[in-house]
Amino acid sequence: MNSDKAHHTAVEDAKRLLGSLAQTEKNLGVMTTYRVGGNAALYVEAQSKEELSQVAVAHQTSGLPVLVVGKGSNLLVAQAGFPGIAVSLGGDFVVSEIDTERAVVRAGGPVALPALARRCASAGLTGFEWAVGVPGSVGGAVRMNAGGHGSDMEASIVEASIFDLATSSTQLWDKRQLRFGYRRSAIGATQIVLEATLQLAPDQDGDAPGMLGDIVQWRRDNQPGGQNAGSVFVNPETETAGELLDRLGFKGFRVGSAQISEKHANFVQADPGGSSDDVDEVIRTVAARVFEEANIELRTEIRRVGFVTEP
């Protein structure tokens, strides 16, 4: 059986197992902050643990790869799309609880970070203000150890509930098991964060709301708007990636419908109606030239899906 026929058979098997849960040829590009990119062969928004378990069975039976999609603020999907099952969380998972007496917060994987940051500040808690400027989800933030303004998820997380689509099992991981690093964790491609528990602190001085405003204003002043996914490259040891790329003259570098921002050199912006392949070409070309010119190997913060080559 050739590869195209085998893939078609696998997709049909998964569709049969998923039934009405599955959407075919769902465009993933519009689900990302780049707003460009291709389709998923199948897409499911799981509303409950039972539906998520169905996705797991379809993945295990068909052999199709899975892609966990949050708010899409750290994702670039190739124009060719994703040949497997893309899955996101909704329904039962969009929950958050704040215990002000213990300063403990429980939030579902799909909960939006800016909304949660504002809720925490309004409840008189501090330690999560940095998240107001990150347009991602709790689950995505745990997976990549998102952060900014001197803090990150590792600083406040206590534990996370992780469902593995490859084994249909749920485990509770503490901070040690999550093995956080700079913009990374131990969470794998088939694993999805159902819920995270955070330990914050009482906002004794009432500074949290003001800090939220300062962070929002700083981002407006220092980072570009438009279609982008925030910082593209992880900071190297000697200087920030933005400083490095600016020093090497990459601001404004363009390939087709994508270019390095004139405002911040570590942002790649996509034109409306553009191509994710152009974005990828900018990333790969810049990384190659930085290695040639500065002998620095850049690593991407964003997740690149469906591309054959690495940057």
| Tokens of residue 179, six digits | 């093995």
Known catalytic membership, residue 184: no
**Collapsing DSSP states into helix, strand and coil, what is residue 108?**
strand
| Tokens of residue 82, six digits | 């994703």
Query: What is the spatial distance between Cα 306 and Cα 311, in angstroms, rounded to a whole number?
Result: 13
Tell me if 77 sits within 8 A of 306, measured CB to CB: yes
Query: What is the spatial distance between Cα 144 and Cα 129, in angstroms, rounded to a whole number?
Result: 18
Query: What is the spatial distance between Cα 258 and Cα 38, in angstroms, rounded to a whole number?
Result: 16
What is the CA 93 to chain-centroid distance, rounded?
A: 17
Q: Which residues contact 202 (CB under 8 A, 6 or more apart)?
A: 100, 103, 124, 125, 126
| Catalytic pick among 51, 129, 195, 301 | 301
Query: What is the spatial distance between Cα 91 and Cα 93, in angstroms, rounded to a whole number?
Result: 5
The residue with tokens 């190997």 is: 297
| Catalytic pick among 106, 118, 183, 303 | 183
| Catalytic pick among 231, 257, 261, 275 | 231
Report the C-alpha dihedral over residues 238, 241, 243, 245, rounded to 10 degrees: 120
Known catalytic membership, residue 102: no
Query: What is the spatial distance between Cα 129 and Cα 241, in angstroms, rounded to a whole number?
Result: 24
- Which H helix or E strand runs over 42? strand 39-46
Known catalytic membership, residue 231: yes
Packing angle between helix 113-122 and helix 208-222, nearest 10 degrees?
A: 150
Q: Which residues contact 309 (CB under 8 A, 6 or more apart)?
A: 284
Q: Which residues contact 302 (CB under 8 A, 6 or more apart)?
A: 74, 75, 76, 229, 230, 232
The beta-strand segments (E) located in 217-267 are 254-255, 258-260
Active-site positions read 183, 231, 301
